[in-house]
Amino acid sequence: MIKMLFAIFLLWLFYKLVFDFIVPVYQSTKQVRRQMSDIQDRLRQQQQQQQQQTRQEEQQQAARQRPVDKGDYIDFEEVK
């Protein structure tokens, strides 16, 4: 009888360990990993947007710096 009560007590302890400690730790770890991956995804998106903006700004600056064609181009030869 005592062995049976002891076995039931051990099963109850094992049950409590699994469902009150191991399962919540697993779930919280899974949630933290998901949140970290979401944060990393957002950071990647922001970096891509910043890179696109800098490329666009560089293209706009390059377009502004290009000389404007003002009429016909006259070719010349160097006189010696």
Query: What are the tens digits of pLDDT across the range 31-56?
Result: 999 999 999 999 999 999 999 999 98
70 — pLDDT class (breaks 50, 70, 90): low
Residue type, 60: Q
Return the half-sphere exposure (C-beta side, CA atoms, 13 A cut-off) of residue 41. 6
* Token pair 């191991």 in the structure block, residue: 22
- The reported pTM is 0.57
Tokens of 56: 């666009």
Average pLDDT, the chain: 88
Tokens of 36: 């970290």
